[in-house]
Every structure is written in C-alpha cells, then in structure tokens.
Amino acid sequence: MTLEPAEPAGPSGSAGPSEPDDPHSDLLAVLPRLTQLSAAFTKGRLTERAAEAAGLALDRPAMGVLVTLRTADQPLRIGEIADRMQVVGPHVTRQVQALEKRGLVRRVADPHDRRASLIEPTAAGMEAANRYVTSLLGWFAEALADWPRQDREDLTRLLNRLADDVTARLARFDAEE
Amino acid sequence: MTLEPAEPAGPSGSAGPSEPDDPHSDLLAVLPRLTQLSAAFTKGRLTERAAEAAGLALDRPAMGVLVTLRTADQPLRIGEIADRMQVVGPHVTRQVQALEKRGLVRRVADPHDRRASLIEPTAAGMEAANRYVTSLLGWFAEALADWPRQDREDLTRLLNRLADDVTARLARFDAEE
DNA sequence: TATTGTTATACTCTATAACTATA
DNA sequence: TATAGTTATAGAGTATAACAATA
C-alpha cells in the first residue's frame, strides 16, 4: 500500500498553504514542529553536552545504549537492546564495544545460550548513566519550568498517544506490503 | 556554558529510573517519545511515500525545500531558504539543483543583487508540492481521526510552545559560549 | 573587506551483506 | 537449517573548508 495519490490541496494554481477552514489546518502545524524539535535537539548537541557534564566522551548512540541498560535494570542481550532501541544488531555491537572499552559496561556469559552474551553496566557505568539522565532532565525541566502542571501532564499524555498511534499505523502500513 | 554537572539521580547505587515522586518523572517520558516519533517518521519513510504518491522521486531534504518555497508564497534566495530550514547554504544549493533538474523550481535574477538569485516553484512544482502536502496531511489526519477535537488542539498548542521554548533556550545556551 | 553562493570533502547515524559460531 | 552476533561496507542527511563573484 502507498499513500493516497490525493487531489491537490486547493484549486489548481492555488499557491498558499491550507485555508483556515481546512479540517487539517491544525495538523499542518504539528509535523513541522516535530521536525523542528528533532533538529533542535541534534543541532543543540544536548546529548553530547549532558554526556560531558556526566564526565563522558560518548556520542548519542552510545548514550542511548547506556540509558537503555539503566532503564532495563537487568542485563540484556545485544538483540534485546537492538529491539528496544528499534535499531539493527550491528549498530548495537559497535556501541557496546565503545562502552566496554571505557569500562562502562561488561559482558557476562549467557548461561543458556553460548552464542549470546549479556550486557550489564558496571558500577561506574550506572553512576555515569544516572548523572547523564539527571543532567538532561534538569535542562529539560528548566525549559518547562514556567509551564502549569496541567499542561505538562497533557503534553506527556498526548505525546504518548501520538507516538503510539503513529507507530501502530506505520506498522500496519508496512505489514500491507 | 555547559549542562550542570548535576548530582546522581538517586542515592549512589540506586539503579532504577526516577521514583514516582520525582518532580521530573513526567518529563522522563517526553524525551524518549520525541525520539521515537522522529525515528518512526524516518524509518516509515513517510516523506518518500508521500513524494511517490505525488509522482515525485525526491528525497526528504529536497521535499523540504519545495515545501518551504510553497509555504513562502514568494521567490526566496538560497540563504533565506537555508535560514528557514535551519540548515547551511551548501545543503540548499544541492537540493535546489536537483529540483531544477526536474523542472520543479526555476531561478530568476535578483534585480538588486547580482550575487544572488531568487528561487521560485514552476507551475509543475507548485502542483506537485500541493499533492505532496495533501497526501502527507491526509495520512496524518487518518492517524489522528479518532482523537477528540480538544485533544488535537491541545497537542498543537503544547507542541508549538514546547518547540518555541526549547529553541529559545538552546539559542541562549549557544550565545553564552 | 564583507557577503552570496558553489564545489569539494568530511562527519554522524543507521542500514545491508557476508560471515562465524552455536543451537 | 535457523539464530546470535560480528565485521565490513554502504547510504542518507548535514556540516565545514576553500573558493569565486559581486557588493
């Protein structure tokens, strides 16, 4: 399946964005905003700065693995980390190697399957992950310090639902092909 | 300036994520959700599919330029497009060349400055941009079809404010360095 | 001398392909 | 023969550096 071929948004030759009475006019704003936020986080190098504040010299993908392990609260296989991060295996392999080299994670043998190993944070890794998350959330909390509690709760709730709905719809999308 | 060095999130050795009474616990959910949405749009190749539905064989950056021109509703310089997209000049130069090659945009001389040229969509480019935006918004509207109107309005409002606040804070951040 | 844009190159993040070891 | 992981390579997207033309 593909996206609908769809009629032009307005009469041919209409040059502007959606009219005010367009039923989708509110959505027109959501997509660019999500793009803007995503780009801002990347370009602002928030992740890298929070890592530096935690005393680490690691890039975003490596921090993602470390935080995934911290959140899991139990050793994970490479494949399980990849699933949770929604990336492919080889990508995780490299990040884990970088974390290992810095003594932030270690591998332990999987007692039930000698093909796999389990990855767990070291004490240093866990402490660094805590410092990192605190630093990142602290920055974010400051940015939202002026927000009414109700708005913060609404944002969290709506964003959760949006992510779920979009993910589910994309999954069906792929399945139909 | 850098992010605060910040104390560990919990007592040393505490392994889990923030406690339920953590004042930042709601924020803990926002960041991963934004990441998830961004990754979902990329991996779902929504942009590419909408472009195909509009009869175009263009990638995301090129579509970004075309939509920027459509939204502007007037010819723009390369530098102005770069500013609006928040990317650097050379990037825009290449996308415009690709769009030119396909007859979707054309260059006109800037009467006041012979160093610059103005980029404007051709009729075909404008029609394609309209088809593209309609297709993309249609998909998005379907994903949110079940949402109460109030929730959609709240999401738009909160996301707008979030993007503005985050962008402003990052700008101050950079300025302090 | 400052600014606009182009060309060429490099970097970040993630994916695919080919292979090894174990199940 | 299927699965977990690794190594090597490729691709998309964007940035930096060096340069040209005009202001």
pLDDT at A14 over 90: no
How much is the pLDDT for B24?
Answer: 60
pLDDT at B18 over 60: no
pLDDT band at B61 (very low <50, low <70, confident <90, very high): very high
What value does the mean pLDDT take over residues A106-123?
97
pTM over 0.95: no
Q: What is the pLDDT of residues A119-131, one digit of tens each?
A: 999 999 999 999 9
Footprint of strand C on the protein (CB under 7 A): A 47, 59-61, 64, 86-91, 94, 113-115; B 39, 43, 77-80, 89-90, 92-94, 96-97, 110, 113, 115-117
Give percent above pLDDT 70 in chain B. 85
How much is the pLDDT for A172?
Answer: 82
How much is the pLDDT for B80?
Answer: 98
Beta strands in A86-135 (DSSP E): 105-109, 117-121
pLDDT band at B23 (very low <50, low <70, confident <90, very high): low
Q: Kindly report which listed range (A76-85, B11-20, B43-52, B59-68) carries the lowest average pLDDT score.
A: B11-20
Q: What is the pLDDT of residues A59-84, one digit of tens each?
A: 999 999 999 999 999 999 999 999 99
pLDDT band at A13 (very low <50, low <70, confident <90, very high): very low
pLDDT at B39 over 50: yes
Q: How far is CA A106 from the centre of its chain?
A: 24
Q: Kindly report which listed range (A74-78, A150-154, B9-13, B118-122) carries the lowest average pLDDT score.
A: B9-13
> Cα separation of B126 and A101, whole Å?
53
pLDDT at A55 over 90: yes
pLDDT at B20 over 90: no
Q: Which of A5-19, B69-83, B132-146 has the highest mean pLDDT?
A: B69-83
How much is the pLDDT for B26?
Answer: 72
Chain B residues within an 8 Å CB radius of A131 = 5-9
Strand D: which of residues 28-67 in chain A lie with Cβ below 7 A?
A: 39, 43
Q: What is chain B written as a DSSP string?
A: --------SSSTT--SS--TT-TTTTHHHHHHHHHHHHHHHHHTTHHHHHHHHTT----HHHHHHHHHHHHH-S-EEHHHHHHHHT--HHHHHHHHHHHHHTTSEEEEE-TT-TT-EEEEE-HHHHHHHHHHHHHHHHHHHHHTTTS-HHHHHHHHHHHHHHHHHHHHHHHHHHHT-
How much is the pLDDT for A9?
Answer: 44
Considering only the beta carbons, identify the residue of B9, B53, B86 that sits closest to A133.
Answer: B9
